[in-house]
Structure 1
Amino acid sequence: MSPNSLHSSFKLNGVTYTNDTLLEKAKYLTDKSNDFEAEIGRFLIAWLNNEAVVKVKTSGSTGKPKTIYLSKEVMKASALATGLFFNLKPTQSALLCLPVSYIAGKMMLVRAMVLGLEIDTIIPKIDLDINSKHYDFVAMIPSQVEKNLDVLNQFSILIIGGGTVSHALKKELQSIETSVFETYGMTETITHIAIKPINKIDYKPYFKTLPNITISQDNRNCLVIKAPQLNKETIITNDVVNLYSETEFEWLGRIDNVINSGGLKLFPEKIEAKLEPFIKERFFIAAQKNQIYGEVAILIVESKTNQLNTSIFKSLNKSEIPKAVYNIPNFVETSSGKIQRIKSLELL
């Protein structure tokens, strides 16, 4: 099968398509006033053309958004790896509830076309309008999962990406029947390259890579990914990790966010994980210049007033305790709901 051909079992919103009929449908969707449907149409046209690559934009949550080009063959290989890991079969059902303007939404369509899944689409928003139908496979961002806990049992497999899954949310997910997985990946790796089960097993802090993907660390202790079927070049990330094996790792945080405080390296994401059970508002940890220590940790809370009790810091080491607390009424976000830390800090 060529990278832009369809599995014979592929269905979109209940209709079976061939390459020709899907192209007609895609052209029709691009004329729709609904941005989500128009974006689906534009992507399908790009997928069905004779070009070897697809243009994709990054989210911009860890830097400036940029446009990159991904090979269709590589996107197909990623879809097949996901299908193999989760044992997805032709005619099984999937739901697309993510924007197709980013890689996560695009790959849901590619998985359906390559694996022969029957995929339905709904408007991608936080509070989803999900019907009563059962689906075998769905991908969501954490905020969608939080808002739609009451309907998650309609899915057999749920993968969560696009942000860290909070301690509170993990606790909520223990009581549902759906098999839930946290994913690790980025646009450059064609979405996820590693998976971590959240419920139904004894929880472990580390991710396990998909088949034929191996990992190592560079001299910064950042993750290095070798995935020949996804990228001919070795991918060097800015994610600091603990390495358990060449296929298992624990994510500690972004090296861009590391706070160097008096010779100690503080990982904001690890401090945030300790504080999550005690702060109901959205928040993040950042660095502030300090004459004695070079940098110290500060706490930024999405709130109009500061009503935090300092007893919430009892779970932190002395060096991790924020030396100041600041409030911002509304954080700056990406279109997918991720907090843009740098731009939010500029609001102070």
Structure 2
Amino acid sequence: MIPSYDKIHLRFKLNGSSYDKESLKEVSYSLIKEGEAYEKIIGDFLLDWLDDKESVEVKTSGSTGTPKVISVSKQAMVHSALATGNYFKLSPGDRALHCLPTNFIAGKMMLVRAMILGLELDMVAPSRLPAYDDQVVYDFCAMIPMQVKDNLERLKNIKTLIVGGAAFPATLMPFIQDLPGNVYATYGMTETLSHIAVKPLNHLKKAAHFQVLEGIDISQDERGCLVIDAPDLMVEKLVTNDIVELYSDKEFDVLGRIDNVINSGGVKLFPEQIEAKLDSNIGQRFFISSEEDEVLGEKVILVVEKDDSSITPSTFKVLDKFEKPKAVYVLEQFEETISGKIRRKNTLELLKKHSKQKPLI
């Protein structure tokens, strides 16, 4: 039987204490009235979840456009929680760590999974260095790449770690291979109620691709972009702007966003793939973009935050001929979303006013 959103699992615990629906409301009021800033947000969401409405409002991150608020079905969020629980074989009484902001869907879904699956959830303030007890064994946790990078020595007691919010950096891959637990990259967005696909990142015997969760079907449109059919999560199919390579009707890899594709001299280039190659060669934040060129149509450019003069010709030896930037621009600070993602279009607008061009030696 599929659980209903208005029921709290009997095994659910929050910071070590058991709660039913009424006592959880009381805790929510207390968090709003007396809690820290992140606890007030958790309290607000829990009250929304526990009211009589069939939907809740969630905010998109704004990484690819203007942030907006959308209404999503609570029962659809239950289905998302069940799909995650089934894939990772989570059981009632398993212990989970919540260290993400609850402003956005990833943080909200950690709470929903706990309430629906009967997890024992420990919540701490979301930060680069979450203040959790790293001697405690956790069955499940979600982080963003920045948290993984800054807490590599503290992850040994997490059995299943999912990482999302941004592409997993290639530079981190060697450091997670010896972790005893399993680390997965996730693919998803607010509209899909967190991840709809996961990809193993360590303990691999062969190359891995994103694998969709149960109840998800995928295809491509005429542009080569991913189309997601998830009737339990969304009313309509979702056509994304992510160009993908399909390996089966359940497996795919993301090549890049169609809005970012560069056509340079007739060669189609994906900035995300170029960035992955450069990741270990550039110390500060950066991204690849383009600008108009009379000969090539578009030429590749590199945009760097806070120049530290570490970029030399050898930086680009890992790139193919057409991938190498024709110009490097430096900005003091990138535009970013609340969750820390770079807003490329907004940052490119800043180039016109505040950038300085770094000579290519």
TM-score, length of structure 1 as denominator length: 0.97
Per-residue deviation, residues 27-50 of structure 1 (Å, max 9, x unmatched): 111113521000000000000011
Q: 2:337 aligns with which of 324, 334, 339?
A: 334
Which aligned pairs between 1:31-46 and structure 2 lie closer than 5 A? 31-32=33-34, 34-46=36-48
Secondary structure of 2:159's counterpart equals strand
Cross-structure match for 1:225: 228
Cα drift, residue 307 of structure 1: 3.2
Q: Matched residues in 2 for 1:33 and 1:7: separation?
A: 24
Cross-structure match for 1:346: 349
Q: Which runs of 5+ in 1 are unaligned?
A: none
Q: 1:92 aligns with which of 74, 89, 94?
A: 94
Of the structure 1 ranges 337-346 and 137-146, higher mean CA displacement relative to structure 2 is found in 337-346
Amino acid at match of 2:6: N
Amino acid at match of 1:140: M
Cross-structure match for 2:105: 103
Q: Matched residues in 1 for 2:338 and 2:208: separation?
A: 28
How many residues are treated as equivalent by the alignment?
348
- For the pair 1:254 / 2:257, whether they are aligned, the reply is yes
Cross-structure match for 1:126: 128
Of the structure 1 ranges 66-75 and 196-205, higher mean CA displacement relative to structure 2 is found in 196-205
Residue 80 and residue 253 in structure 1: after superposition, are their counterparts in 2 closer, same or farther (change >3 A)? same
Cα drift, residue 297 of structure 1: 0.9
Q: 1:163 aligns with which of 158, 166, 172?
A: 166
Which aligned pairs between 1:1-348 and structure 2 lie closer than 5 A? 1-32=3-34, 34-131=36-133, 132-348=135-351
Cα drift, residue 105 of structure 1: 0.2
Amino acid at match of 1:57: K
Residue 233 and residue 270 in structure 1: after superposition, are their counterparts in 2 closer, same or farther (change >3 A)? same
Q: Matched residues in 2 for 1:322 and 1:205: separation?
A: 30
Cα drift, residue 92 of structure 1: 0.5
Per-residue deviation, residues 261-299 of structure 1 (Å, max 9, x unmatched): 122211000011111121122211011111122211101
Contact 1:62 1:340 in 2 (8 A): yes
Of the structure 1 ranges 61-70 and 305-314, higher mean CA displacement relative to structure 2 is found in 305-314
Q: Matched residues in 2 for 1:304 and 1:258: separation?
A: 25
Cα drift, residue 259 of structure 1: 1.0
Of the structure 1 ranges 156-165 and 131-140, higher mean CA displacement relative to structure 2 is found in 131-140
Per-residue deviation, residues 294-343 of structure 1 (Å, max 9, x unmatched): 21110111223443111222222211110001112222222222111122
Cα drift, residue 146 of structure 1: 0.3
Q: Matched residues in 2 for 1:322 and 1:63: separation?
A: 25
Secondary structure of 2:295's counterpart equals coil
Per-residue deviation, residues 187-224 of structure 1 (Å, max 9, x unmatched): 00010000100001135252010012111100100001
Q: Matched residues in 1 for 2:46 and 2:115: separation?
A: 10
Q: Matched residues in 1 for 2:22 and 2:35: separation?
A: 23
Contact 2:282 2:310 in 1 (8 A): no
Of the structure 1 ranges 18-27 and 276-285, higher mean CA displacement relative to structure 2 is found in 276-285
Q: Matched residues in 1 for 2:22 and 2:307: separation?
A: 54
Per-residue deviation, residues 163-191 of structure 1 (Å, max 9, x unmatched): 01111111111121121000000000010
Amino acid at match of 1:17: Y
RMSD across aligned positions (CA): 1.2
Residue 189 and residue 10 in structure 1: after superposition, are their counterparts in 2 closer, same or farther (change >3 A)? same
Per-residue deviation, residues 51-98 of structure 1 (Å, max 9, x unmatched): 011100000111110111110010000000000000000010001100
Amino acid at match of 2:299: V
Amino acid at match of 1:198: L
TM-score, length of structure 2 as denominator length: 0.94
Q: Matched residues in 2 for 1:40 and 1:221: separation?
A: 38
Q: Matched residues in 2 for 1:202 and 1:336: separation?
A: 33
Identity across the alignment (%): 51
Q: Matched residues in 2 for 1:22 and 1:2: separation?
A: 17
Q: Matched residues in 1 for 2:157 and 2:251: separation?
A: 30
Secondary structure of 2:215's counterpart equals coil
